[in-house]
Amino acid sequence: MSAVGAPPKPVPVADERLANISLTARLLRRPEIGALLAAIVVAIFFWTQSSLFLQLDGIANWTDVASTIGIPAVMVALLMIGGEFDLSAGVMTGTAGLTLGVLATEVGLNIWLAIVLTLIGATAIGFANGYMVMKTKLPSFIVTLATFFILQGVNLGVTKLITDQVTVSGIDLAAGYSSANAIFGDSFTSHGFRITVLWWIAITLVATWVLTRTRTGNWIYGVGGDANAARNVGVPVARVKIGLFMATSFVCALTGIMVALRLASTQAGQGVGEEFQYIIAAVVGGCVLTGGFGSAVGAALGATIIGMAFIGIQFSGWNTDWRFLFLGVILLVAVLVNNYIRKRAEGARR
């Protein structure tokens, strides 16, 4: 018999921080839930305007646009989760296309060697961005804005110096073009689905795996949430952030290569201003400007919404000038809805 007055055995309980949170609240806390709901609404809206919108030919059109925005947007999202910006992301796509074109047409390199050298150069620029941010402690907004103008000037000046015009054409005449185009720029179905869609899906899946299943993913969230606290527990903050800048430049350059191969030409103004579309896609997908929150899937959904909007406006017979108004409205509404959902979810206990 147990002694009289002995204390009862403790009863194990679940973590009180999780025990009273419903499944609905947990779902609402996901950063991409707002973008998913918005994508459904936008798809239904444009389908009511044009039945072609959700047919295979129509889907091929807007996934094409979404993929060339979504591939860079996914990496921009990871960089934003890590607490940084890259305003040179858009112009980097143009720089990569021009570099590829000049190496293949003016220097006479095999297209595959030109691709490798282009990607190495872009990654080096990403390293320079990250190194400058970490060593100077300047905001990444300022550093990458400077890179934006430098690349824009180089794109225009060097292209005119070498070709005496602002475009580089004849990429399809370079050795190795057919095989490279088959992997990076061609379509793969009779409905016109582009290979970039498969790249977009693959990069989104890899980025999601990194964020949710690896130590590096934890580090990315940590340095974005509180870099000092992350550093104090042993996270290599500088290495993580420089790596994110390098990966962002690499993926943006890859996108520029895809576009250049598809069109078999490129121009000096390619990609200028597209960095805002990448940021919009990331923010619509649940990323916050202060870092530490967001997802790759959310950025991909944000790009999907932009792609649907751009093509949906055309299918509806509207003036395409309205698409930029639509972008601004999407951005504002998405931020408001995401904040509302997150606050409601954080307050939900049942």
pLDDT higher than 50, residue 1: no
Query: pLDDT band at residue 27, thresholds of 50, 70 and 90?
Result: low
Contact criterion met (CB below 8 Å) for 299 and 196? no
Residue 44 in domain: yes
Residue 3 in domain: no
Q: Tell me how many domains the chain contains.
A: 1
pLDDT higher than 70, residue 275: yes
Q: What is the model's pLDDT at position 8?
A: 59
Query: pLDDT band at residue 323, thresholds of 50, 70 and 90?
Result: confident
Rounded CA-CA distance 173/191 in Å is: 26
- 233 CB burial (10 A radius; 0-12, 13-18, 19+): exposed
Average pLDDT, the chain: 88
Residue 16 in domain: no
Q: What is the model's pLDDT at position 69?
A: 96
Tokens of 199: 């790249």
Residue 5 in domain: no
Containing domain of residue 328, as a range? 30-345
pLDDT higher than 60, residue 343: yes
pLDDT above 70: percentage of residues in the chain: 89
Residue 208 in domain: yes
Query: pLDDT band at residue 349, thresholds of 50, 70 and 90?
Result: very low
Residue 202 in domain: yes
- The H or E element spanning position 168 is strand 167-169
Residue 338 in domain: yes
Please provide the size of the chain in residues.
Answer: 350
pLDDT higher than 90, residue 12: no
Rounded CA-CA distance 145/10 in Å is: 59
Average pLDDT over residues 305-320: 89
Residue 14 in domain: no
Mark residue 164 as left, alpha or beta (left: phi above 0; alpha: psi -120 to 50; beta: remaining): left
Rounded CA-CA distance 350/338 in Å is: 20
pTM: 0.89
Neighbours of 247 (CB within 10 A): 18
Query: pLDDT band at residue 163, thresholds of 50, 70 and 90?
Result: confident
Read off the CATH number of the domain in which 316 is found: 1.10.3470
Q: What is the model's pLDDT at position 238?
A: 95
